[in-house]
Amino acid sequence: MAGLIQAQDATSDRAEIVHVLNRITFGPRPGDVEKVEQMGLRNYIEQQLHPESIDDSAVEKDVARFELLQMSPQQLSQLFLEDTKRFIKKQKEKQAADAGQTGQGAQAVTSEATPPAGGGTMNLINQASQWRSVAAIGQLEQAKLVRAVDSQRQLQEVLVDFWGNHFNVDVKKGPDRVYKIIDDRDVIRPHIWGSFRDLLEASAKSPAMLFYLDNASNTVQRDMTPLEQEMREMYFQKTLGIADPENTTQPGEPMKTKKQGGINENYAREIMELHTLGVDGGYTQQDVQEVARCFTGWTINRMAGEFIFRPRLHDNGAKVVLGHEIPAGGGIQDGETVLDILCASPATAHHIALEMCQRFVSDNPPPSLVERIAGVFQATNGNLSQVTEAILTSPEFLSPSDYGNKIKSPLEFAVSAVRASDSTLIAQQPPPFDKLVPAMEGGGVMGRGQVADRISHRPRQSLNWHILELGEPLFACTPPTGYKEVSSTWVSPGALIERLNFAMALTGQELSDVVFDPQRILDGIDVDHPEDVLNRCVTTLLQNNITDATRKVLEKTALPAPGESQTVNPSKLIALMIGSPEFQRK
Partner 1 sequence: MNINRRIFLKQGALSFICLGSGPFWGPGFLRQAAFAADLGSSMSNKILICIFQRGAVDGLSMVVPYGDPFYYQNRQEISVGAPSQAAGDAGALDLDGYFGLHPAMAPLLPLYKQGHLAAIQACGSPNASRSHFDSQDLMESGVDEDKSVQEGWLNRLLGCCPEDAAKKTAFRAVSMTSVVPRSLQGPEDSLAIRDLDTFGLAGDSSTLLAGPTGTTDGFESMYGSAVDTVLHGTARESFDALDLLKQARTAHSQPSNGAVYPQGNFGRNLKQIAQLIKANVGVQVAFAEVDGWDTHANQGGAKGQLATRLGSFAQGLAALHQDLGDRMADVVVVTMSEFGRAVHQNGNRGTDHGHGTCFFALGGSVKGGKVYGDWPTLSPDKLFQDRDLAVTTDFRDVFGEICAKHFGVPMSAMPQLFPHYAVDAQRFRNFYTA
Residues 526-585 touching partner 1, rule: CB under 8 A, are: 547, 549-550, 552-553, 556-557, 566, 572, 575-576, 579-581, 584
Number of shown-chain residues binding partner 1 (CB under 8 A) = 83
- Are 369 and 361 in contact by the 8 Å Cβ rule? The answer is yes
Separation CA 541–CA 242 (nearest Å): 66
Residue 438 within binding range of partner 1, rule CB under 8 A: yes
Region of 27 (left: φ > 0; alpha: ψ -120 to 50; beta: rest) is left
Residue 345 in the binding site for partner 1 (CB under 8 A): no
Instruction: Say whether residue 481 binds partner 1 (CB under 8 A).
Output: yes
If binding is defined by CB under 8 A, does position 366 make contact with partner 1?
no
Residue 375 and residue 11: Cα distance in Å, rounded? Answer: 34
Binding piece for partner 1, criterion CB under 8 A, among 15-23, 195-203, 425-433, 501-509: 501-509
β-pairing verdict for 306-309 and 319-321: unpaired
Q: Examine residue 219 and tell whether it contacts partner 1 (CB under 8 A).
A: yes
- Round to whole Å and give the CA distance between 373 and 356: 9
Instruction: Work out which of 225, 460, 479, 528 binds partner 1, going by CB under 8 A.
Output: 479
3-state secondary structure 81-133: HHHHHHHHHHHHHHHHHCCCCCCCHHHHHHCCCCCCCCHHHHHHHHHCCCCHH
CA-CA distance, 365 to 320, in Å (whole number)? 35
Nearer of residues 58 and 491 to partner 1, judged by Cβ: 491
Stretch of residues binding partner 1 (CB under 8 A), selected from 36-44, 150-158, 445-453, 517-525: 445-453
- Closest approach, Cβ 406 to partner 1, in A, equals 8
204 binds partner 1 (CB under 8 A): no
| Short-list 460, 532, 469, 462, CA closest to 500 | 469
CB of 68 to partner 1, least distance (A): 26
- Give the Cα separation of 339 and 209 in Å (integer): 15
428 alpha carbon, distance to own chain's centre: 20
- Smallest gap from Cβ 331 to partner 1, in A, equals 19
Q: Considering the rule CB under 8 A, would residue 491 count as an interface residue with partner 1?
A: yes
* Residues between 265 and 304 with contacts to partner 1, criterion CB under 8 A: 265-266, 269, 273, 279, 285, 288
Within 393-422, which residues bind partner 1 (CB under 8 A)? 405, 407
- Cβ of 47: how many Cβ atoms within 10 Å? 17
* Binding pattern for the stretch 150-189 against partner 1, x by CB under 8 A and - elsewhere: ----------------------------------------
The least CB distance from residue 470 to partner 1, in Å, is 8
Helix H or strand E encompassing 308: strand 306-309
Task: Give least dist CB 101 to partner 1, A.
Answer: 13
Least CB distance from residue 118 to partner 1, whole Å?
6
Of the two residues 288 and 361, which places its CB atom closer to partner 1 in the complex?
A: 288
3-class SS letters over 148-216: HHHCCCHHHHHHHHHHHHHCCCCCCCCCHHHHHHHHHHHHHHHHCCCEHHHHHHHHHCCHHHHHHCCHH
CA pair distance 14, 240, nearest whole angstrom: 68
**Contact with partner 1 (CB under 8 A): which of 12, 97, 118, 312?**
118
**Between residues 56 and 485, which has the closer beta carbon with respect to partner 1?**
485
Least distance in angstroms from the C-beta of 460 to partner 1: 11
Site for partner 1 in 90-109 (CB under 8 A): 107
- CB hemisphere CA count around 76 (13 angstroms): 29
